[in-house]
Amino acid sequence: MPHWTNLSGLISPGIKQLQAYQPGKPTDELERELGLKRIVKLASNENPSGPSPLVREVIASACGEMHRYPDGGGHSLKNALANNHGVSSDQITLGNGSSDLLDLIARVFLAPSTEAVVAQHAFAMYALVTQATGAKARIAPASDGVGGTHYGHDLSAMAAQIDNSTRLVFVANPNNPTGTYLSGPALEKFIAELPSGVICIVDEAYYEYVETDDYPNAINWLPKFPNLIVTRTFSKAFGLAGLRCGYSVCSAEIAEFLNRVRQPFNVNSLAMLAAETALRDDEYLSRSKQTNAAGLKQLEAGLANCGLSIMPSVANFVCVDMGASAAEIYNKLLHKGVIVRPVANYELPTHLRVTVGLESENTIFLDALDAVLEK
């Protein structure tokens, strides 16, 4: 067996400085650790209702075909999505979750000595996929609350980070973990004023949940912005996080490059089938949105009752300031069988991110929090 004297010297510079993505704690891990029976997971912004009944049915009926490779071109799902969005199917690229798309985009456009601009407190995958290519992530300070929502993206600060090495700008709308969003006019102006040669990714992972009037659908801007890529996912409102399916919509020219780096079977057949079925299940989606809207109100009211301040959220989670080390409260909540998400890795050491659950789950969380804060 060879003995590495200097393994770290062999690692590509981009990878050497990477910190792996920290996912929410899985339920069965907490069960093993603490032997708890009742666990409520509000840690990964999953749809608390479970998958749509139509999806359950179609997956059960598809088991007999699992010895076949998926359709690597994803024709059926791409056509359904193209139809839904009024674009052509060659503008759609499917991914193993939308994280896959973020990675493909980074690999197509970034290399060492190029840069991507990312906002402070933005979704962690942007800096990760950027650094993995050897490129540099330039972090723009978040809004201080004067020119935009406190902790949200500050578009002028992002524009100020752009220079000749910039290839990509990542915009999360709404952003995770802050739940903040950018209005249509502000974001449209930002994209219109980007220097030519800078690609803007608008990540709309929570699009279906947002009910605010001035929230834009960036897919509508594609005809006028050839440098725009919009990403969406089936992991959140569509309730399919475990199957991994997301997509991007952009010009056919860019999509053709994404297709070159994509693994030929990057999305599995059950995921594509489930996604196409979920797209048709309007009742499930509208029920999910209702559950979320009611749950957001419940959490906002309950947290305000505890004297805690939250960032105004348009998504399916809230980011709440505990006013003290959030790590300790997180651990105490774990012992009560409630998993939430610490966000110290987002430079928010006193905040916790809490996913909107079912009414009963939100109540369990609020009661547990009450008990934890009282001691």
Question: Which residues here bind ligand PLP, judged by CB under 6 A?
Answer: 45, 97-99, 123, 172, 176, 203, 205, 233, 235-236, 241, 246
Nearer CB in complex with ligand PLP: 45/143: 45
**Alpha carbons 37 and 370: distance in angstroms, whole number:** 20
Nearer CB in complex with ligand PLP: 182/372: 182
Q: Minimum distance from CB of 98 to ligand PLP (Å)?
A: 4
- Exposure string (b/e) for 93-105, b if CB count within 10 Å is 16 or more? bbbbbbbbbbbbb
| CB-based contact 257:250 (threshold 8 Å) | no
| CB-based contact 110:14 (threshold 8 Å) | no
Beta-ladder partners of 140: 119
Q: Minimum distance from CB of 365 to ligand PLP (Å)?
A: 19
Nearer CB in complex with ligand PLP: 236/336: 236
**Alpha carbons 353 and 334: distance in angstroms, whole number:** 14
**Alpha carbons 58 and 82: distance in angstroms, whole number:** 22
Measured from each CB, the residue nearest to ligand PLP is 97
Structure tokens given for 72: 């690597």
> What are the backbone angles phi and psi of residue 318, rounded to the nearest 5°?
-130, 150
Nearer CB in complex with ligand PLP: 97/357: 97
Q: Minimum distance from CB of 317 to ligand PLP (Å)?
A: 9
Q: Minimum distance from CB of 207 to ligand PLP (Å)?
A: 11
Q: Minimum distance from CB of 9 to ligand PLP (Å)?
A: 32
**Alpha carbons 9 and 17: distance in angstroms, whole number:** 12
Nearer CB in complex with ligand PLP: 337/357: 357
**Alpha carbons 238 and 272: distance in angstroms, whole number:** 13
Q: Minimum distance from CB of 56 to ligand PLP (Å)?
A: 19
236 DSSP assignment: S
Nearer CB in complex with ligand PLP: 172/322: 172
